[in-house]
Structure 1
Amino acid sequence: MSFIPRGIIPAVVTPMTPDEQVDHAALRRIIRFLLEGGVHGIFVIGTTGEFYAMTQDEKRALIETTVDETAGKVPVYAGTGAITTKECIALTKMAESCGVDAVSILTPMFISPSQDDLYEHYRIIASETELPIILYNNVPRTGVTISAGTVEKLSRIPNIVGIKDSSGDFTLTAEYIRLTRYRKEFAVLQGRDTQILAGLQYGATGAIAACANVAPRLCCEIYDRFQAGDYAGSLEAQFALAPLRLAFNIGTFPAVIKEALNMLGLNIGGCVKPIRDLLPNEKAELQSIMKEMKLI
């Protein structure tokens, strides 16, 4: 399989109306904003996109809107993770029917699968689709990690084309890269926005970045300058991005990202409850950071 995920791929938020319905008009606005910012892909229904809060029908409609608005300008990725293998297969087939270019599949959550369980989980899903699959490791959210050895074994399956690592453990990211480097088509994508440049320097092909919702051009500068050989410029862009990522702890994820987008005038609403909006003092803190970064 020749599909290689690369570049800055925003993990897009899901805009919501006050009654917690997907706001498709706002989704189109943010996709246009991201494309104008120079992103290299669009990724919907991930962790940042509150995948856990949507029905399959809502996910289908969201993917259809995304594919339509993106209009082939960049690849569209969809999250199809779930607890059970059969639900992942169903979601992946649904995404395939909607015309996505690839899917990202988070490890199961709540349960505690072994590495053998994880290998079989992904192997079976891969056998049921022709889509490129990106593994997704996010142990801070799921309590489940994919070991470097398991990723190396899975990388031998032709349509498993990469992994997003949001662990924050750069030693693990580095091992993913080292152990899969024999397969040129296999990509490791950074999922921790403070480590985008570090990942590129070690051999990652890009990042699936939550911060790219708010600062797409700045995130892309990290990647684009690195590819152009402007390593000092890439480093400065990484330094400039850090305050936004570190601000995520002002509220419960992904409330800060949504509030920042509202501050930019994109009017994408709030999070699905029980995640609350930021309090006035929290909004003031975020606004100060955004002003210092010259985002507003």
Structure 2
Amino acid sequence: MGFVPRGIIPPIITPLTDDGEVNYPVLRQMVNHLIDNGVHGLFPLGTTGEFYAFDDDTYRKILETVKDETRGRVPVYGGANHITTRGVIRLVKICEEVGVDAVSVLTPMFVSQTQDELYAYYKEIAESTSLPIILYNNKPKTNVTITPATVAKLAEIDNIVAVKDSTGDMTNAAEYIRLTRDNDNFHVLMGRDTLIHAALCYGATGAIASCANVAPRIAADIYDKFMEGDLKGSLDAQFELAPLRIACGMGTFPAVIKEGLVQQGIPVGKCLAPIGELTPEEKEKLHQVLVDMKLV
């Protein structure tokens, strides 16, 4: 298709008010904060954006807000995630109407599909739209994986342009790259923030990185320095980012991401229940990580 997802793309958090409504002024603030710090795209309504929490009208308004505030400065990737094929297609149609640049489609949750069922799922979604589609494998959250062989087969569909690998399994990501390396239309994005540099070395074109919400400049440096040929600088930035990603093991995701932003003075609020806040001890541990990274 000619669309290449590249660089550091934060799955932007969804700021909330104290009563659990979307805080649209702070969402606009986040858009500018991230772009000003060098990210290469924005991805509303991913896992980090608590996509599962919003009805269709709110979903549309979040996308419209990000698209409007971005003003074409970077591509906007819309998350279109649902447990059914028809549910995804409904969300993809909203993405089309809003005018996002591409959509990311997670594997279905809860139900355990065969690889043939996954292939049919993505094929039907791709046939329903002209938008570029990014496959999203988050096996740790969904308990569903897209095997390298299935990804290679799906990569032959014209508007399926990439896969995001959040498995944390570098061999899996490497196989995605190896099996599609002769397909110039298809690309691999890393979804585990500790492995961005490694994935770039293998041939990935970028990363959808949740920690880029909190440390956008550090995350962007991993990609920018790599592309400049400064491999040591890229690796140094990767090592600098790693403690924040490891700290995400505290609490329930994405509580650490939101707390990190709050500690930086950006009033993004809490996650929606049942996700709770970090404990005081966890907040202090996270604060020390941010101090060490010179983010507070």
Superposition map of 1:103-252 within 5 A? 103-252=103-252
Deviation at 1:182, TM superposition (A): 1.2
Where do 5+ consecutive residues of structure 1 fail to align? none
The residue number in structure 1 matching 2:94 is 94
- Are 1:75 and 2:86 an aligned pair? no
Q: What secondary structure, in the 3-state scheme, does the structure 1 residue paired with 2:272 have?
A: coil
User: 2: CA distance between counterparts of 1:235 and 1:249?
Assistant: 22
- Which amino acid letter does the alignment assign opposite residue 274 of structure 1? P
User: 1: CA distance between counterparts of 2:260 and 2:185?
Assistant: 35
User: 2: CA distance between counterparts of 1:12 and 1:282?
Assistant: 22
Cα-to-partner distance string for 1:84-107 (whole Å, 9 max, x where unaligned): 000000000111100100000000
Give the paired residue count. Answer: 296
Deviation at 1:278, TM superposition (A): 1.3
User: 1: CA distance between counterparts of 2:40 and 2:108?
Assistant: 27
- Which amino acid letter does the alignment assign opposite residue 293 of structure 1? M
Cα-to-partner distance string for 1:144-187 (whole Å, 9 max, x where unaligned): 00000000000000000000000001100000000011111211
User: 2: CA distance between counterparts of 1:285 and 1:7?
Assistant: 29
- Which amino acid letter does the alignment assign opposite residue 41 of structure 1? G
Deviation at 1:23, TM superposition (A): 0.6
User: 2: CA distance between counterparts of 1:18 and 1:179?
Assistant: 47
User: 2: CA distance between counterparts of 1:277 and 1:131?
Assistant: 37
Deviation at 1:34, TM superposition (A): 0.1
TM-score by structure 1 length?
Answer: 0.99
What percent identity do the matched residue pairs reach? 57
Q: What secondary structure, in the 3-state scheme, does the structure 2 residue paired with 1:78 have?
A: strand
User: 1: CA distance between counterparts of 2:99 and 2:23?
Assistant: 21
User: 1: CA distance between counterparts of 2:146 and 2:21?
Assistant: 33
Q: What secondary structure, in the 3-state scheme, does the structure 1 residue paired with 2:208 have?
A: strand
User: 2: CA distance between counterparts of 1:156 and 1:149?
Assistant: 12
The 10-residue stretch of structure 1 (15-24 or 138-147) with the greater mean CA deviation from structure 2: 15-24
The residue number in structure 1 matching 2:53 is 53
- Which amino acid letter does the alignment assign opposite residue 239 of structure 1? F
The residue number in structure 2 matching 1:36 is 36
- Which amino acid letter does the alignment assign opposite residue 70 of structure 1? T
The residue number in structure 1 matching 2:20 is 20
Where do 5+ consecutive residues of structure 2 fail to align? none
The residue number in structure 2 matching 1:284 is 284
Q: What secondary structure, in the 3-state scheme, does the structure 1 residue paired with 2:235 have?
A: helix
User: 2: CA distance between counterparts of 1:140 and 1:54?
Assistant: 22
User: 1: CA distance between counterparts of 2:204 and 2:276?
Assistant: 35
Q: What secondary structure, in the 3-state scheme, does the structure 2 residue paired with 1:66 have?
A: helix
Name segments (4+ residues, structure 1) moved above 3 Å.
Answer: none
Pairwise CA RMSD: 0.5
- Which amino acid letter does the alignment assign opposite residue 204 of structure 1? A
Q: What secondary structure, in the 3-state scheme, does the structure 2 residue paired with 1:136 have?
A: strand
